Amino acid sequence: MKTEDVVKWVMPEFPIGERFSGESSSYKKKIAVLQLICAYFQKLFAGDIPLEFPSMDYYQVHECSYYDTEPLATIINNYEEAIKESLFNRLLEWSSFEQVQIDLANTVYIPGIRQYDMRAWDADKRKTFIRKYVECSMNDFQKRLYEAMPGPVLDSLDMQSERKAVYLFSERLAKYLGLAEQQESFVMRCFLQEHEQLVRMLSYFEAPIENNLVCTYMYVNEFYIMGYCIGRKDYNTVISYKSYDWTFFMAWYILEKILQRTDELFL
């Protein structure tokens, strides 16, 4: 199916024949792809997670002129951001994972300390800074996460603004990984296919941000914990919901479905 036909099928109200050409056409194709991705996730999650994605303002898209593609790019970026935010929040509500964020946005305003100074600091100097300016505002659980895995908080100091450390953690996954290690022969005999798929999905899940824009950390004790940072890296780069890789959402869902089976098998 040609791209033009895909766009007509996904967006029948879009005036293709009038201006499906030039640089702006690539943005219209991106809208079509995003709509198809929404349909894919609605089918994948059917029966488990109700999804209501934001709608696209096609009139606003149509009003963008042939040469003025900057507003069109902004519309599409905001649309993708909203779709991925919706996926993230629905999965978080449905799955065994919980989220804790440590907000470091205000650290950019500390008198006498410049952003460029922070980016040059080593880990020890960053920890001293966090202890002095950030730990006092953390609750007990945030402190536990930071002490277990300081990387996301320390890395967030590389961001120019809007900096946050994000921790996703699951007791269910930690329990399964522990049981799989203790009962390896049973898993290999009775649960091998599912276990191999879980390991494969975990590899995608542990790379949530596309293009390796930030480092991801993992730690397992009573919880499986994954952490990374978000924020504005520079004028052109913002790590936000839009930065999540599509495969991360797919892997999160499949991973949780496998974990639901482990509850029946092991518990």
DSSP 2-26: -HHHHHHHH-TTS-HHHH--STHHH
Concatenating the DSSP letter of every residue in 78-119 gives HHHHHHHHHHHHHHHHHSS-EEEEEE-GGGGG-TT--HHHHH
Q: Which of 9-23, 78-92, 167-181 has the lowest mean pLDDT?
A: 9-23
pLDDT at 61: 63
Q: Which sequence spans correspond to the domains of the chain?
A: 1-94, 96-267
- Which residues, including other chains, have CB under 8 Å from residue 180's CB and lie 6 or more apart? 187, 195
pLDDT at 225: 97
pLDDT at 68: 59
Query: Please, which residues bridge with residue 164 across strands?
Result: 103, 230
Higher-scoring residue by pLDDT: 75, 257: 257
φ, ψ at 161 (rounded to 5°): -165, 175
What is the C-alpha to C-alpha distance for residues 169 and 196, in angstroms, rounded to an integer?
21
First to last CA, the chain: 48
Overall average pLDDT of the 42-59 stretch: 85
Q: Which of 7-21, 99-113, 203-217 has the lowest mean pLDDT?
A: 7-21
| Range with the largest mean pLDDT of 58-67, 178-187, 214-223 | 214-223
Number of helical H runs and strand E runs in the chain: 13, 5
pLDDT at 18: 42
- What is the H or E stretch that residue 33 is in? helix 24-44
How high does pLDDT run on average in the chain? 85
